Amino acid sequence: MTEQANPFLNADLLSLPRPALKALFQAAGEPGFRSEQLFRWLHVRLERDWARMTDLPAGLRTKLQAARTLAVLTPTLERVSALDASQKIVLNTDDGHAIETVIMPMESGHVTQCLSSQVGCKMGCDFCATARLPVRQNLSAGQIVEQVAYACRVGFALGLRRGGVAGGEEGPLSARPHNLVFMGMGEPLDNLQALIDALDILCDPKGFDFSPRRITVSTSGVAKNVAKLAAAHPNVNLAWSLTATTDDVRDRLMPVNRGVPIRKMVDVLLELPQNAHRKITFEYALLKGVNDTEDDARRLASMARELNAHVNAIPFNAWPGADYQRPERVVIQRFVDVARRAGASITLRESKGQDIGAACGQLAGEKPV
C-alpha cells in the first residue's frame, strides 16, 4: 500500500492528542468516532496489540499496522529500594537508548511517578548524573506517556488501585499513579512540544484523566518556554531547579544560568498570569561547602517570599564520580531553620530510592549487567 493510499504510514499514533488523532482519521477518510475508539484503546485500556482492538474494523486495523510500532519502550531492568520500596525501571527506546522512571510510594498512601523527558540532558548541570551521559535526544510524547502506561500495568499486576483496591473495569488505568513529576532524565522545557502533547494526553478526560494540579514540571531555567507551557496548561505546577542563590555559584553549577540569570528567571515567573491553582516550587540541592550557608538560606527565603513559592531542600544524593558531597546533618538542619525563620515555606526532603540510584540527580540510564 502506498503512502498516498495510507495516511497512517509511519504515523506516531501514541504521540497524538485526541484532536490531532481525529484530524488524522478525517484525512484518511475514516469516521471521527473511530479515532475516539482508538484513543480509548491506547490511553484507557493501554492496549498495544492491534489484534485485541476488536471493535475496530479489520481493514482499518490493517491500515493502522503501517504506523510506527506501539511498543515504544522496552523494560530491561527493575530495582526496588530496600529503604522505601521505591521502584526504578530502566526502559529502552526503539533505538536502544536507556531512560529511567521511578515509582515512589508516598507516606500519604499515594504513588508518585517521576518521568523522563529526554535521553540524557544538554543542560550540563555539574551535580547531576544525567548530564554525564554521552547521548542526548528528545523523547516523543508517546515515549513520555508510555512511562505512565507501564507504571499503570505494574500497579495493576500488584493489585493496586487508585483507592487501594484491586480491580476496576478500566483495567490497568485503575492503578495509575496519583501524582506525576517531570523531574527525571532531561530538561522538560527543552522538549516543549512533546511535553505539551504528552500533557494533553495525560490530562484528557477521555484518556488518563489526570488532574493538572497533580502534575509538576521541573525546569533548570529555560525561561523562553515557561510562558508557553503555562499558556498550554495553566494549572500544571512548576518547579524551578534553583540550587544556588547567587549568579556566581549558579553559573558554575548550572550553565543555563549564564543565559538566564537568577533575577531574570524570577521576573519571568512573576510575569505569569495569576493562577490560584498553580504552585511554584524551588528545588534546592544542598551541596557541602557550596550553597549551604546561612546567607544562602536568607537569600533563598527572600526569593521564595517574592514568588510565594515553596522550597524543597534536598540534600545531595551522591553518585559514582560526583564532585560534590552532602552537607553534615547539623548544617542541613541549620540551613532549613534559618530559611524558615526568614519567612520561607520550606520542607527538608530526602529523595526516595537512594540505595538503587533512583534519587534526584542520580538517574543515569543504567544498563543491565
Q: Kindly state the cell numbers that stand for 34.
A: 473511530
271 is catalytic: no
How far apart are the C-alpha atoms of 316 and 188, rounded to whole Å? 21
Give me the catalytic one of 100, 146, 187, 366. 100
100 is catalytic: yes
Beta strand 310-315 with 98-105 is unpaired
- According to DSSP, the residues that pair with 365 across neighbouring strands are none
* Residue written as grid cell 490560584: 276
* Residue written as grid cell 512511562: 147
Give me the catalytic one of 125, 128, 203, 360. 360
Active site residues: 100, 360
